[in-house]
Chains A and B, each alone.
Chain A
Amino acid sequence: MNIEADLGKCQGFANCVMAAPEVFDLDDASLVVLARRQVLPDELEDVREAVRSCPVEAIWLTES
Protein backbone atom coordinates (compact mmCIF):
# COMPACT_ATOMS: atom_id res chain seq x y z
CA MET A 1 0.00 0.00 0.00
CA ASN A 2 1.08 3.59 -0.71
CA ILE A 3 0.03 6.81 0.94
CA GLU A 4 -1.22 9.69 -1.17
CA ALA A 5 -1.54 13.23 0.16
CA ASP A 6 -3.25 16.30 -1.30
CA LEU A 7 -1.48 19.40 0.02
CA GLY A 8 -4.26 21.53 -1.39
CA LYS A 9 -6.66 19.93 1.05
CA CYS A 10 -4.37 19.66 4.07
CA GLN A 11 -5.26 22.11 6.83
CA GLY A 12 -2.58 21.06 9.29
CA PHE A 13 -4.90 19.42 11.82
CA ALA A 14 -2.05 17.03 12.75
CA ASN A 15 -4.48 14.16 13.38
CA CYS A 16 -2.37 11.96 11.11
CA VAL A 17 0.73 12.78 13.17
CA MET A 18 -1.20 11.74 16.27
CA ALA A 19 -2.20 8.42 14.75
CA ALA A 20 1.06 7.46 13.02
CA PRO A 21 3.98 9.74 14.00
CA GLU A 22 6.50 7.36 12.42
CA VAL A 23 4.99 8.13 9.01
CA PHE A 24 3.50 11.65 9.16
CA ASP A 25 4.84 15.03 10.20
CA LEU A 26 3.97 18.66 9.57
CA ASP A 27 6.34 21.14 7.94
CA ASP A 28 6.81 24.76 9.01
CA ALA A 29 3.77 25.76 6.98
CA SER A 30 1.73 23.14 8.89
CA LEU A 31 1.33 20.94 5.82
CA VAL A 32 1.63 17.17 5.94
CA VAL A 33 5.02 15.60 5.20
CA LEU A 34 5.40 11.87 4.55
CA ALA A 35 8.46 10.08 5.92
CA ARG A 36 7.94 7.66 3.01
CA ARG A 37 5.10 6.80 0.69
CA GLN A 38 5.22 3.06 1.10
CA VAL A 39 3.49 1.66 4.20
CA LEU A 40 5.30 -1.06 6.11
CA PRO A 41 3.07 -3.96 7.18
CA ASP A 42 3.34 -3.22 10.91
CA GLU A 43 2.37 0.43 10.32
CA LEU A 44 -0.73 -0.31 8.30
CA GLU A 45 -3.26 -0.16 11.14
CA ASP A 46 -1.86 3.16 12.42
CA VAL A 47 -1.89 4.59 8.90
CA ARG A 48 -5.50 3.47 8.37
CA GLU A 49 -6.38 5.28 11.59
CA ALA A 50 -4.55 8.36 10.31
CA VAL A 51 -6.57 8.26 7.09
CA ARG A 52 -9.84 7.90 9.06
CA SER A 53 -8.90 10.72 11.39
CA CYS A 54 -8.13 13.34 8.73
CA PRO A 55 -11.08 15.77 8.87
CA VAL A 56 -10.52 16.96 5.29
CA GLU A 57 -9.65 13.61 3.68
CA ALA A 58 -6.30 14.95 2.54
CA ILE A 59 -4.58 11.54 2.83
CA TRP A 60 -5.56 8.13 1.50
CA LEU A 61 -4.18 4.72 0.67
CA THR A 62 -3.68 3.23 -2.78
CA GLU A 63 -2.66 -0.25 -3.84
CA SER A 64 0.95 -0.22 -4.92
Chain B
Amino acid sequence: MAPRRIVIVGASLAGLRVAEGLRSHGYLGEVVLIGDEDHPPYDRPPLSKQVLSGTWEPSRTYFRTPDELAARGIVHRRRTRATSLDRDVSGGVVRCADGTEERFDHVVVATGARARRVGAWELPGVQTLRTIEDVRSLTEAFARRPRLTVVGGGFIGAEVASAARHRGLDVTLVEALPAPLSRVLGTEVGMACAGLYRRNGVRVLTGVAIEGVQGGPGVESVDLTDGTRIDSDLVVVGIGAVPNTEWADGGGLRLDGGIVCDASGGAGARVWAVGDVARWYHPVFDAHIRVEHWTHATEQAHHVARAIAGQAVGPMTAIPYAWSDQFGVKIQIVGRPSPDATFVLASGTPEQGRFVGLYAAAGRVVGGVGFDQPRAIARVRRMVAGAAEVGAAVQALAG
Protein backbone atom coordinates (compact mmCIF):
# COMPACT_ATOMS: atom_id res chain seq x y z
CA MET B 1 0.00 0.00 0.00
CA ALA B 2 1.28 3.45 -0.83
CA PRO B 3 2.33 5.48 2.20
CA ARG B 4 -0.32 8.00 3.24
CA ARG B 5 1.69 10.31 5.44
CA ILE B 6 5.31 11.36 5.07
CA VAL B 7 7.01 13.29 7.86
CA ILE B 8 10.23 15.09 6.99
CA VAL B 9 12.28 16.23 9.97
CA GLY B 10 14.43 19.19 9.02
CA ALA B 11 13.20 22.05 6.82
CA SER B 12 16.34 23.17 5.10
CA LEU B 13 17.46 22.37 1.56
CA ALA B 14 17.40 18.55 1.74
CA GLY B 15 14.07 18.34 3.58
CA LEU B 16 12.39 20.88 1.32
CA ARG B 17 13.63 19.12 -1.80
CA VAL B 18 12.23 15.79 -0.59
CA ALA B 19 8.85 17.44 0.05
CA GLU B 20 8.77 19.10 -3.36
CA GLY B 21 10.17 16.01 -5.07
CA LEU B 22 7.35 13.89 -3.66
CA ARG B 23 4.83 16.25 -5.27
CA SER B 24 6.63 16.46 -8.60
CA HIS B 25 6.64 12.65 -8.73
CA GLY B 26 2.92 12.51 -8.20
CA TYR B 27 2.72 11.66 -4.51
CA LEU B 28 -0.74 12.67 -3.29
CA GLY B 29 -0.61 11.82 0.43
CA GLU B 30 0.16 14.12 3.33
CA VAL B 31 3.58 15.77 3.51
CA VAL B 32 4.63 17.38 6.80
CA LEU B 33 7.89 19.31 7.04
CA ILE B 34 9.12 19.97 10.58
CA GLY B 35 11.84 22.53 11.33
CA ASP B 36 13.09 24.29 14.44
CA GLU B 37 13.82 27.62 12.75
CA ASP B 38 11.39 30.50 12.36
CA HIS B 39 11.90 31.13 8.64
CA PRO B 40 10.62 29.63 5.43
CA PRO B 41 13.15 27.07 4.15
CA TYR B 42 16.22 29.02 3.10
CA ASP B 43 19.49 28.57 1.29
CA ARG B 44 22.67 28.47 3.37
CA PRO B 45 25.59 28.88 0.91
CA PRO B 46 24.77 32.55 0.19
CA LEU B 47 24.88 33.37 3.93
CA SER B 48 28.68 33.33 4.04
CA LYS B 49 28.93 34.83 0.56
CA GLN B 50 26.34 37.27 -0.84
CA VAL B 51 24.60 38.02 2.49
CA LEU B 52 27.71 38.51 4.62
CA SER B 53 29.39 40.64 1.98
CA GLY B 54 26.30 42.85 1.93
CA THR B 55 25.11 42.07 -1.61
CA TRP B 56 21.90 40.27 -0.58
CA GLU B 57 19.30 40.87 2.11
CA PRO B 58 18.91 37.73 4.26
CA SER B 59 15.33 37.21 3.05
CA ARG B 60 16.61 36.75 -0.51
CA THR B 61 17.82 33.28 0.63
CA TYR B 62 14.22 32.11 1.19
CA PHE B 63 13.43 29.28 -1.21
CA ARG B 64 9.64 29.51 -0.95
CA THR B 65 7.01 31.67 0.67
CA PRO B 66 4.57 30.06 3.12
CA ASP B 67 1.88 30.43 0.43
CA GLU B 68 3.98 28.58 -2.13
CA LEU B 69 4.49 25.69 0.30
CA ALA B 70 0.78 25.56 1.09
CA ALA B 71 -0.08 25.62 -2.62
CA ARG B 72 2.09 22.51 -3.07
CA GLY B 73 0.24 20.77 -0.25
CA ILE B 74 3.26 20.87 2.08
CA VAL B 75 2.52 21.50 5.77
CA HIS B 76 5.49 23.38 7.18
CA ARG B 77 5.69 23.43 10.99
CA ARG B 78 8.15 26.15 12.07
CA ARG B 79 9.81 26.56 15.47
CA THR B 80 9.23 22.84 16.07
CA ARG B 81 12.14 20.76 17.31
CA ALA B 82 11.88 17.00 17.02
CA THR B 83 13.01 15.28 20.21
CA SER B 84 12.49 11.58 19.54
CA LEU B 85 11.83 9.01 16.87
CA ASP B 86 9.85 5.87 17.69
CA ARG B 87 9.12 3.20 15.13
CA ASP B 88 6.59 0.39 14.92
CA VAL B 89 5.51 -2.15 12.30
CA SER B 90 3.61 0.32 10.14
CA GLY B 91 5.72 3.46 10.54
CA GLY B 92 6.13 5.37 13.75
CA VAL B 93 5.93 8.67 15.58
CA VAL B 94 8.12 11.77 15.75
CA ARG B 95 7.70 13.57 19.07
CA CYS B 96 8.41 17.28 19.30
CA ALA B 97 9.61 19.62 22.06
CA ASP B 98 6.22 21.37 22.21
CA GLY B 99 4.51 18.09 23.14
CA THR B 100 3.00 17.42 19.74
CA GLU B 101 3.39 14.15 17.86
CA GLU B 102 3.58 13.46 14.15
CA ARG B 103 2.55 9.99 13.05
CA PHE B 104 4.24 8.76 9.87
CA ASP B 105 4.15 5.92 7.36
CA HIS B 106 7.61 6.98 6.18
CA VAL B 107 9.98 9.42 7.87
CA VAL B 108 12.82 11.33 6.25
CA VAL B 109 15.56 12.58 8.57
CA ALA B 110 17.03 15.82 7.27
CA THR B 111 18.18 17.47 10.50
CA GLY B 112 21.50 18.61 9.08
CA ALA B 113 24.51 19.53 11.13
CA ARG B 114 25.43 22.28 13.55
CA ALA B 115 28.60 24.32 13.77
CA ARG B 116 31.17 22.77 16.08
CA ARG B 117 31.92 24.96 19.09
CA VAL B 118 34.54 24.95 21.82
CA GLY B 119 33.13 25.53 25.31
CA ALA B 120 36.31 27.10 26.68
CA TRP B 121 36.19 29.84 24.01
CA GLU B 122 32.60 30.94 24.66
CA LEU B 123 32.51 34.72 25.17
CA PRO B 124 30.36 37.48 23.70
CA GLY B 125 31.90 38.20 20.31
CA VAL B 126 32.84 34.58 19.59
CA GLN B 127 30.55 33.30 16.85
CA THR B 128 29.89 30.54 14.37
CA LEU B 129 28.07 30.83 11.05
CA ARG B 130 25.30 28.43 10.09
CA THR B 131 21.96 30.22 10.28
CA ILE B 132 20.30 33.47 9.22
CA GLU B 133 20.48 34.64 12.84
CA ASP B 134 24.24 33.97 12.83
CA VAL B 135 24.77 36.03 9.71
CA ARG B 136 22.53 38.87 10.98
CA SER B 137 24.55 39.03 14.14
CA LEU B 138 27.83 38.94 12.22
CA THR B 139 26.65 41.64 9.82
CA GLU B 140 25.81 43.89 12.79
CA ALA B 141 29.20 43.15 14.31
CA PHE B 142 30.94 43.95 11.00
CA ALA B 143 29.29 47.38 11.03
CA ARG B 144 31.24 48.23 14.20
CA ARG B 145 34.44 47.63 12.21
CA PRO B 146 35.95 45.03 14.52
CA ARG B 147 39.37 43.48 14.31
CA LEU B 148 38.30 40.02 13.16
CA THR B 149 40.06 36.75 13.89
CA VAL B 150 38.88 33.69 12.00
CA VAL B 151 39.70 30.37 13.63
CA GLY B 152 39.89 27.58 11.09
CA GLY B 153 40.96 27.74 7.46
CA GLY B 154 38.14 25.70 5.98
CA PHE B 155 35.51 26.94 3.56
CA ILE B 156 33.43 28.86 6.09
CA GLY B 157 36.49 30.52 7.59
CA ALA B 158 37.83 31.52 4.20
CA GLU B 159 34.48 32.86 3.01
CA VAL B 160 34.03 34.88 6.21
CA ALA B 161 37.53 36.29 5.77
CA SER B 162 36.71 37.11 2.14
CA ALA B 163 33.47 38.91 3.05
CA ALA B 164 35.18 40.80 5.87
CA ARG B 165 37.98 42.00 3.58
CA HIS B 166 35.32 43.01 1.05
CA ARG B 167 34.05 45.32 3.81
CA GLY B 168 37.56 46.54 4.53
CA LEU B 169 38.00 44.92 7.94
CA ASP B 170 41.28 43.95 9.54
CA VAL B 171 41.33 40.13 9.31
CA THR B 172 43.58 37.43 10.77
CA LEU B 173 43.00 33.78 9.86
CA VAL B 174 44.48 31.03 12.05
CA GLU B 175 44.81 27.45 10.82
CA ALA B 176 46.38 24.67 12.90
CA LEU B 177 47.56 22.74 9.83
CA PRO B 178 50.43 23.96 7.60
CA ALA B 179 47.98 25.58 5.15
CA PRO B 180 44.30 26.50 4.91
CA LEU B 181 42.05 23.85 3.31
CA SER B 182 44.95 21.39 3.48
CA ARG B 183 42.95 18.79 5.46
CA VAL B 184 40.85 18.29 2.32
CA LEU B 185 42.98 19.54 -0.55
CA GLY B 186 46.53 18.86 0.61
CA THR B 187 49.39 21.26 1.31
CA GLU B 188 50.15 22.30 -2.29
CA VAL B 189 46.66 23.64 -2.99
CA GLY B 190 46.42 24.91 0.58
CA MET B 191 49.53 27.04 0.03
CA ALA B 192 47.92 28.48 -3.10
CA CYS B 193 44.90 29.43 -0.97
CA ALA B 194 47.12 31.03 1.66
CA GLY B 195 48.74 33.08 -1.10
CA LEU B 196 45.35 34.16 -2.40
CA TYR B 197 44.25 35.28 1.08
CA ARG B 198 47.49 37.16 1.74
CA ARG B 199 47.31 38.98 -1.60
CA ASN B 200 43.87 40.13 -0.47
CA GLY B 201 45.14 41.56 2.78
CA VAL B 202 44.43 38.73 5.22
CA ARG B 203 47.05 37.98 7.83
CA VAL B 204 47.34 34.16 7.59
CA LEU B 205 48.91 32.26 10.49
CA THR B 206 49.35 28.52 9.95
CA GLY B 207 50.74 25.56 11.83
CA VAL B 208 49.73 27.06 15.14
CA ALA B 209 46.83 26.24 17.45
CA ILE B 210 44.62 28.29 19.73
CA GLU B 211 45.77 28.49 23.35
CA GLY B 212 42.65 30.36 24.45
CA VAL B 213 40.33 33.29 23.94
CA GLN B 214 40.72 36.14 26.44
CA GLY B 215 38.32 38.87 27.44
CA GLY B 216 35.58 39.87 29.81
CA PRO B 217 32.81 40.25 29.20
CA GLY B 218 33.52 40.58 25.44
CA VAL B 219 36.40 39.04 23.55
CA GLU B 220 39.69 40.96 23.63
CA SER B 221 42.27 38.63 22.18
CA VAL B 222 42.99 35.23 20.73
CA ASP B 223 46.14 33.65 22.17
CA LEU B 224 48.10 31.12 20.15
CA THR B 225 50.23 28.23 21.37
CA ASP B 226 53.40 29.93 20.08
CA GLY B 227 52.77 32.87 22.40
CA THR B 228 51.31 35.19 19.76
CA ARG B 229 48.46 37.37 21.01
CA ILE B 230 45.99 38.59 18.38
CA ASP B 231 44.00 41.59 19.59
CA SER B 232 40.45 40.84 18.44
CA ASP B 233 36.98 42.34 18.80
CA LEU B 234 35.24 39.54 16.94
CA VAL B 235 36.10 35.86 16.52
CA VAL B 236 34.46 33.53 14.01
CA VAL B 237 35.06 29.85 14.69
CA GLY B 238 34.86 27.68 11.58
CA ILE B 239 36.11 24.27 12.65
CA GLY B 240 33.56 21.98 11.08
CA ALA B 241 30.08 20.71 11.78
CA VAL B 242 28.51 17.98 13.89
CA PRO B 243 25.58 15.96 12.46
CA ASN B 244 22.32 16.39 14.39
CA THR B 245 21.57 12.74 15.18
CA GLU B 246 21.06 12.76 18.96
CA TRP B 247 17.28 13.26 18.85
CA ALA B 248 16.86 10.10 16.73
CA ASP B 249 18.90 7.93 19.08
CA GLY B 250 15.93 5.81 20.17
CA GLY B 251 14.79 5.01 16.65
CA GLY B 252 16.85 1.86 16.23
CA LEU B 253 19.00 3.46 13.53
CA ARG B 254 22.72 3.04 13.07
CA LEU B 255 24.34 6.27 14.20
CA ASP B 256 28.02 6.45 13.39
CA GLY B 257 29.25 9.88 12.38
CA GLY B 258 25.83 10.50 10.85
CA ILE B 259 22.85 8.29 10.12
CA VAL B 260 24.20 5.29 8.28
CA CYS B 261 22.22 4.58 5.10
CA ASP B 262 22.34 2.22 2.15
CA ALA B 263 23.12 3.52 -1.33
CA SER B 264 19.54 4.78 -1.77
CA GLY B 265 19.26 6.63 1.53
CA GLY B 266 17.41 3.89 3.41
CA ALA B 267 18.32 3.88 7.11
CA GLY B 268 15.81 1.19 8.10
CA ALA B 269 12.29 0.15 7.22
CA ARG B 270 10.34 3.29 6.26
CA VAL B 271 13.20 5.53 7.42
CA TRP B 272 15.35 7.61 5.12
CA ALA B 273 18.05 10.19 5.71
CA VAL B 274 19.28 12.96 3.42
CA GLY B 275 21.71 15.86 3.50
CA ASP B 276 24.40 16.75 6.02
CA VAL B 277 23.08 14.33 8.66
CA ALA B 278 23.21 11.28 6.39
CA ARG B 279 26.05 8.88 5.69
CA TRP B 280 25.16 6.97 2.54
CA TYR B 281 27.02 4.04 1.10
CA HIS B 282 28.67 5.27 -2.10
CA PRO B 283 29.35 2.51 -4.63
CA VAL B 284 32.03 4.45 -6.55
CA PHE B 285 34.15 4.89 -3.40
CA ASP B 286 33.01 1.63 -1.73
CA ALA B 287 32.54 3.50 1.54
CA HIS B 288 29.90 5.18 3.68
CA ILE B 289 30.48 8.89 3.29
CA ARG B 290 28.83 11.94 4.81
CA VAL B 291 28.87 14.82 2.36
CA GLU B 292 28.10 18.37 3.53
CA HIS B 293 27.55 19.74 0.06
CA TRP B 294 24.56 21.61 -1.35
CA THR B 295 24.48 19.64 -4.59
CA HIS B 296 24.70 16.27 -2.87
CA ALA B 297 21.77 17.15 -0.61
CA THR B 298 19.61 17.94 -3.64
CA GLU B 299 20.64 14.74 -5.40
CA GLN B 300 19.92 12.61 -2.35
CA ALA B 301 16.56 14.33 -1.84
CA HIS B 302 15.59 13.73 -5.45
CA HIS B 303 16.54 10.07 -5.11
CA VAL B 304 14.60 9.49 -1.88
CA ALA B 305 11.53 11.36 -3.13
CA ARG B 306 11.40 9.09 -6.18
CA ALA B 307 11.80 5.98 -4.04
CA ILE B 308 9.01 6.95 -1.63
CA ALA B 309 6.77 7.93 -4.56
CA GLY B 310 7.09 4.34 -5.75
CA GLN B 311 9.61 4.65 -8.57
CA ALA B 312 12.31 2.05 -8.99
CA VAL B 313 15.64 3.58 -7.99
CA GLY B 314 19.07 2.00 -7.92
CA PRO B 315 22.03 3.09 -5.86
CA MET B 316 22.87 6.77 -6.11
CA THR B 317 26.24 7.28 -7.79
CA ALA B 318 26.42 11.09 -8.06
CA ILE B 319 29.97 12.26 -7.48
CA PRO B 320 30.20 14.85 -4.67
CA TYR B 321 30.67 18.40 -5.88
CA ALA B 322 31.22 21.57 -3.87
CA TRP B 323 32.05 25.16 -4.64
CA SER B 324 33.37 28.06 -2.64
CA ASP B 325 33.63 31.71 -3.63
CA GLN B 326 36.64 33.35 -2.04
CA PHE B 327 38.31 36.64 -2.93
CA GLY B 328 36.78 36.60 -6.40
CA VAL B 329 37.92 33.04 -7.18
CA LYS B 330 35.49 30.18 -7.70
CA ILE B 331 37.03 27.11 -6.11
CA GLN B 332 35.37 23.85 -7.17
CA ILE B 333 35.97 20.41 -5.76
CA VAL B 334 34.72 17.08 -7.08
CA GLY B 335 34.98 13.54 -5.80
CA ARG B 336 37.03 12.74 -2.75
CA PRO B 337 40.27 14.67 -2.74
CA SER B 338 42.47 13.91 0.22
CA PRO B 339 45.97 14.74 1.40
CA ASP B 340 46.73 11.00 1.16
CA ALA B 341 45.96 10.84 -2.56
CA THR B 342 48.60 11.75 -5.15
CA PHE B 343 48.16 15.32 -6.36
CA VAL B 344 48.79 15.96 -10.06
CA LEU B 345 48.57 19.35 -11.72
CA ALA B 346 46.60 18.99 -14.97
CA SER B 347 46.57 22.57 -16.26
CA GLY B 348 47.70 25.99 -15.13
CA THR B 349 49.55 26.58 -11.88
CA PRO B 350 48.34 27.57 -8.43
CA GLU B 351 50.60 30.64 -8.62
CA GLN B 352 48.76 31.86 -11.74
CA GLY B 353 45.49 31.63 -9.86
CA ARG B 354 43.77 29.43 -12.47
CA PHE B 355 44.47 25.72 -12.45
CA VAL B 356 43.02 22.23 -12.40
CA GLY B 357 44.48 19.56 -10.12
CA LEU B 358 43.67 15.87 -9.87
CA TYR B 359 43.82 13.55 -6.88
CA ALA B 360 44.71 9.95 -7.71
CA ALA B 361 44.69 6.72 -5.75
CA ALA B 362 46.04 3.48 -7.24
CA GLY B 363 46.48 5.31 -10.55
CA ARG B 364 42.81 6.30 -10.83
CA VAL B 365 41.25 9.77 -10.54
CA VAL B 366 39.32 9.99 -7.24
CA GLY B 367 38.95 13.76 -7.01
CA GLY B 368 39.74 17.11 -8.51
CA VAL B 369 40.04 20.78 -7.67
CA GLY B 370 39.82 23.81 -9.89
CA PHE B 371 40.28 27.54 -9.47
CA ASP B 372 38.03 29.39 -11.95
CA GLN B 373 37.83 26.38 -14.30
CA PRO B 374 34.19 25.20 -14.26
CA ARG B 375 34.17 23.41 -17.61
CA ALA B 376 37.30 21.44 -16.85
CA ILE B 377 35.97 20.49 -13.43
CA ALA B 378 32.76 19.23 -15.02
CA ARG B 379 34.93 16.90 -17.10
CA VAL B 380 36.88 15.82 -14.02
CA ARG B 381 33.62 14.93 -12.28
CA ARG B 382 32.91 12.47 -15.08
CA MET B 383 36.45 11.13 -14.86
CA VAL B 384 35.92 10.39 -11.16
CA ALA B 385 32.63 8.66 -11.96
CA GLY B 386 34.42 6.49 -14.50
CA ALA B 387 37.55 5.93 -12.35
CA ALA B 388 39.69 7.27 -15.21
CA GLU B 389 43.37 6.42 -15.37
CA VAL B 390 45.22 9.52 -14.17
CA GLY B 391 47.77 9.81 -17.01
CA ALA B 392 45.06 9.67 -19.65
CA ALA B 393 43.01 12.16 -17.65
CA VAL B 394 45.85 14.68 -17.52
CA GLN B 395 46.37 14.33 -21.28
CA ALA B 396 42.67 14.76 -21.98
CA LEU B 397 42.52 17.92 -19.86
CA ALA B 398 45.64 19.37 -21.48
CA GLY B 399 44.32 18.65 -24.99
Report A's interface with B, CB cutoff 8 A. 11-15, 17-19, 21, 25-26, 30, 52-53, 55
Identify the closest chain A residue to B20 (Cβ). A52
Q: List 14 A-B contacts (CB under 8 A).
A: A14-B323, A14-B374, A14-B377, A17-B374, A18-B321, A18-B332, A18-B334, A18-B378, A18-B381, A19-B378, A25-B374, A52-B302, A53-B298, A53-B299
Interface pair A55/B375, CB less than 8 Å apart: no
Chain A CB within 10 Å, residue with most, of B302, B378, B379: B378
Interface size for chain B: under 10, 10 to 19, 20 to 34, or 35 or more residues? 20 to 34
B residues engaging A (CB < 8 A)? 43, 45-46, 50, 294-295, 298-299, 302, 321, 323, 330, 332, 334, 374-375, 377-379, 381
Partner of B43, one of A17, A26, A55: A55
* Other-chain residue from A11, A26, A30, A53 in contact with B295 (beta carbon distance below 8 A): A53
Nearest 4 A/B pairs, CB to CB: A14-B374, A21-B378, A17-B374, A18-B378
Q: How far is the CA of A48 from the CA of B274 in the complex (A)?
A: 20
- List, in ascending order, chain A residues with CB within 8 A of B323's CB: 13-15
Question: Is A26's CB under 8 angstroms from B374's CB?
Answer: yes
A30: chain B residues within 8 A (beta carbon): 330
Contact for A18 among B43, B45, B46, B295, CB less than 8 A: B295
Q: Which residues of B contact A21 (CB under 8 A)?
A: 375, 378-379
**Could you tell me the dominant secondary structure of chain B's interface residues?**
helix
Q: Which residues of A contact B302 (CB under 8 A)?
A: 52
Q: Between A and B, how many residue pairs show CB distances below 8 Å? A: 40
Nearest A residue to B55, CB-CB: A11
Given contacts A14-B323, A18-B321, A30-B330, contact A55 B378 (CB under 8 A): no
Q: Which residue of B lies closest to A48 (CB)?
A: B302
Alpha-carbon separation in the docked complex, A52 to B294 (Å): 11
**CA separation between A30 and B374, bound complex, in Å?**
10
With contacts A18-B321, A18-B374, A26-B374 known, is A11 near B298, CB below 8 A? no
Docked Cα-Cα span, A18 to B379, in Å, equals 8
Q: How far is the CA of A12 from the CA of B328 in the complex (A)?
A: 11
In the complex, A30→B379 CA distance in Å?
A: 18
Task: Please name all residues of chain B whose beta carbon is closer than 8 Å to the beta carbon of A18 when the two chains form the complex.
Answer: 295, 321, 332, 334, 374, 377-378, 381
Write out the residue numbers on chain A whose beta carbons fall within 8 Å of the beta carbon of B374: 14, 17-18, 25-26
Chain A residues with CB under 8 Å of B330's CB are 12, 14, 30
* Cross-chain contact of B45 among A26, A52, A55 (Cβ < 8 A): A55
**Residues of chain B contacted by A11 (CB below 8 angstroms):** 46, 50
Residues of B within 8 A of A26 (CB): 374
In the complex, what distance in Å separates the CA atom of A23 from the CA atom of B302? Answer: 22
CA–CA, A14 to B43, complex, Å? 16
Shortest C-beta distance, A11 to chain B (Å), equals: 7
The CA of A26 and the CA of B45, in the complex, are separated in Å by 20
Closest to A25 in B: B375
- Which residues from chain A contact B298 at a C-beta distance below 8 Å? 52-53
The CA of A24 and the CA of B299, in the complex, are separated in Å by 19
Q: Are A17 and B50 touching (Cβ within 8 A)?
A: no
Taken together as a complex, chains A and B put the C-alpha atoms of A14 and B321 apart, in Å, by 11
Cα distance A31–B20 in the bound complex, in angstroms: 27
Chain A neighbourhood of B294, CB < 8 A: 55
The CA-CA distance from A52 to B378 in the complex, in Å, is 16
Which residues in A have their C-beta under 8 angstroms from that of B321? 15, 18
In the bound complex, what is the Cα–Cα distance between A12 and B324 (angstroms)? Answer: 11
- Cα–Cα distance between A21 and B45 once the two chains are bound (Å): 22
Inter-chain contacts of B45 with A (CB < 8 A): 55
Decide yes or no: A15 and B375 within 8 Å by CB, A52-B302, A55-B43, A55-B45 being known contacts: no
Tell which of A12, A18, A25 has the most Cβ of chain B within 10 Å: A18
Q: What residues on A are CB-neighbors of B375 within 8 Å?
A: 17, 21, 25
Closest CB in chain A relative to B318 CB, distance in Å: 9
- Min distance, Cβ A51 to any Cβ of chain B, angstroms: 11
A25 CB to closest chain B CB (Å) equals: 6
* In the complex, residue of chain A having the shortest beta-carbon distance to the beta carbon of B43: A55
A62 shortest CB reach to chain B, Å: 16
Closest CB of chain B to A29's CB: distance in Å?
A: 12
